[in-house]
Structure 1
Amino acid sequence: MKSCLIVDDSSVVRKVARRILEDMDYIVDEAEDGQDAFDKCRQEMPDAILLDWNMPIMSGLEFLKLLRAYLGGDKPHIVFCTVENDIGAIAMALKAGASDYMMKPFDRIILEAKFEMRDRAA
């Protein structure tokens, strides 16, 4: 089965995303910040990551750069999820290695579309 790590400091966002991704047959794990996420990735690299932009301890962008430089960190499909609608911020995320991005708030249709595209490409 496919695995996905949801990285967001909001428990509500994690809960909503978890429900949608589990309905898509993903095995889901959660992390509250980039440091927690990186620790989990070092233990077991997920197939996909839903990544928040603004978090305490380690931001999504810091995590993304660290993960992509880590052995095996080039593998996960990473969807950056942000309230930022600044095209410069989105460009930074894509340049740092994000596979795709989506805006918050999101709904089931948007999230499924981002991960179904990944499934078709895999």
Structure 2
Amino acid sequence: MQRLMIADSSDIVRTVAKRILSEIGFLVVEASGEREAFMRCQADMPAILIVDAALEGALDLIARVRELPTGNKVRIYYCVIEADLKKMMQGKRAGADDFLLKPFDRKILSAVFANLSAAA
């Protein structure tokens, strides 16, 4: 079972995403802040990391995770509220692999992550 971390300051977003992603086969870990997420990545790097753009220190988190010894192996999704090209490019420069638009629901998360869960 692949580990997936959700770094988002919203308890509701983390809870809903965890429920959906657990149902499609991920072991989901939560982090409510940049520092907590980074410490969890240092201890046990997830296969996938979802970072909310509104999280304080989000871009720093992505860049710092990429600098870790296994940071190049994690697939990082930068979660944005709208397709804001400037914000998306900042995420890409920090090291994000892909983007996820909020608000998301079961259909969106299943479409994006079901194949990744099955690939484990």
TM superposition shift of 1:119: 4.5
Q: Is 1:109 matched with 2:107?
A: yes
- How many Å apart are 1:121 and its aligned residue? 6.8
Q: Which runs of 5+ in 1 are unaligned?
A: none
Percent identity, aligned pairs only?
36
Q: Which structure has more RCO (C-alpha within 8 Å, separation ≥ 6)?
A: 2
TM (normalized to structure 2)? 0.90
- 2: CA distance, partners of 1:120 / 1:87: 31
1:111 is matched by which residue type in structure 2?
A: L
Q: Distance in 1 between matches of 2:112 and 2:34?
A: 21
TM-score calculated relative to the size of structure 1: 0.89
Q: d(CA) in 1 for partners of 2:33 and 2:82?
A: 17
Q: Which amino acid aligns with 1:4?
A: L
Give the 5 Å matches for 1:67-86: 67-86=65-84
The CA RMSD over aligned residues, in Å, is 1.7
CA contact (8 A) 1:100 1:114 kept: no
Structure 2 unmatched runs, 5+:
none
In structure 2, the partner of 1:50 is 50
